Amino acid sequence: MGKHRWRDDDPLLPSSGERKRNSSRWLFWIAIILLLLLIAGGTAYYTYWVNFKHLEKPEVAEAEPPVTVLILGIDKRERDIGRADTIMVASIDPKYKTIRLISLPRDTRATIPGFAGQSRINAAYGYGGAELVEQTVENLLKLEIDYYVATDFQGFAKIIDAVGGVEIDVEKAMDYDDYAQGLHIHLKPGRQRLSGEEALQYVRFRGDGLGDISLVDPVNNVYEGRIERQQKFVKAVAEQILDPANIWKAPALIRRLADALDTNMPMTTILRYAAIVQNIPTSNIFTSVLPGSAQTINGASYWVPDEAQVARLVQSMQRPTPPPVVQEDEQTTRPIRVRVLNGSGAPGAARSAKNFLTQQGFDVVEIGNANSFNYQQTEIIMHIPSDVAVSRIRQILRVYGTVTQDFRADESVDVTVILGRDYHGNV
């Protein structure tokens, strides 16, 4: 894509007016943007010291508010600027050392600035590029987005190949052919290392009917299909890039990824956050789907946002509140209350998880079965802002599946854990 917007004379973080101006050719640093967004601050930091160690070390400002980045995957076709096929908003919080991802279904119904009525949000890219998508998402979430980064499918494949592919457990056989789009997907089930082209097939697959919105049921906290695969994939890539072997690949990565991205993120911003990002564990990556419901309006299918739920989600994203925990000098503070549900069908799974959590001070107030036994990955639902507690639960149970939020009134529990087949009794 290659439209990089960095300023040559930008010694400090840009002001709000400066950060969206066109700037010159810092192509050498384009890969670092990617690595930052995929939790690869280690590579960025290494590259900084190799090439800029004569400069003053950038100060790490942990008290700064979260930086918010719009991530776009663009579906480009011949003679067509394309549409936003993947839309995510990432918030990196230096204070609490967390990364939060919100996935917006491409069928989300939204008002696009400058156009009458409401449309699917993915159409905004075709009307006005990444800048218009950014405005549309800002209006929808009522959240200021600091920067954007976009890549098309060819750039996506380059990115994955540059880090040596990504290891992921393909949950089912995937066979799908769309001759009109030139899309051909053929993947076998099982854990394997996917090349860039194969990874592209994995995140685009929807031949089983699991598209963006077909199996999204926020009432029962079911977020299956392509969005779930995308979030699972992001975490797998994060783990791959955090592999120490990839830290030393930084120069080669940068050369190969120079033209892969379109972004307005300044180099100095990346350097300021790199030292923080490299220390964020994957257990502190929280993923959510834009709250809403699937609806048919005038014969067209949309994902219609739930405004109240969206407001709560965005509020927690801007600065999550640490959960209540028992302190040595404050025995009256209650522990986090947890509901554990068996979503895998493995006998005794919920009781096993209860025992592990209880031993670590959590109050497991309920165990039982989930609405189905088809959960491949464990899902955790926060009913109060409780990032720290959720991170601890994931570490105790050794599960790193999807984290969603449902802040509707539920006075009986603070966190619900639905155990998937990735839970193996804390082995």
CB atoms within 10 A of CB 385: 20
Bridge partners of 187, per DSSP, are 174
Bridge partners of 418, per DSSP, are 341, 379
What SS3 class is residue 98?
strand
For 27-318, CATH number? Answer: 3.40.630.190
Bridge partners of 150, per DSSP, are 72, 262
Determine if the pTM surpasses 0.75. no
Complete DSSP assignment for 293-335? EEEEETTEEEEEE-HHHHHHHHHHHHSPPPPP--BTTBTTSPP
CA 415 to each of CA 248, 335, 368, 390: distance values in angstroms, whole numbers, following the listed order:
39, 11, 14, 8
Phi, psi for 17 (deg, rounded to 5): -75, -30
Tens of pLDDT along the chain (427 residues)? 544 433 333 332 223 333 232 222 222 223 334 444 443 344 444 444 444 444 444 455 555 667 898 988 887 766 677 788 788 898 888 877 778 888 898 899 999 999 988 999 999 999 999 999 999 999 999 999 999 988 787 777 887 887 788 888 888 898 888 776 677 889 999 999 999 899 888 877 766 544 444 444 444 444 445 566 766 776 677 677 666 666 556 556 655 655 677 778 776 676 566 656 666 776 677 777 888 888 999 999 999 998 887 887 787 776 554 444 433 333 346 789 999 999 999 999 999 999 999 988 899 999 999 988 988 778 888 888 777 788 889 889 988 777 877 766 567 898 999 998 889 875 5
Task: Tell me if domain 27-318 and domain 337-419 are identical in fold.
Answer: no
Q: Which two tokens stand for residue 260?
A: 């892969």
Separation CA 149–CA 133 (nearest Å): 11
Q: Which two tokens stand for residue 191?
A: 């854990």
Separation CA 227–CA 211 (nearest Å): 8
Class of domain 337-419: alpha beta
Tally: H helices and E strands in the chain = 12, 21
- Domain positions in the chain are 27-318, 337-419
Q: How many CA atoms lie within 13 A of 421 on its CB side?
A: 8
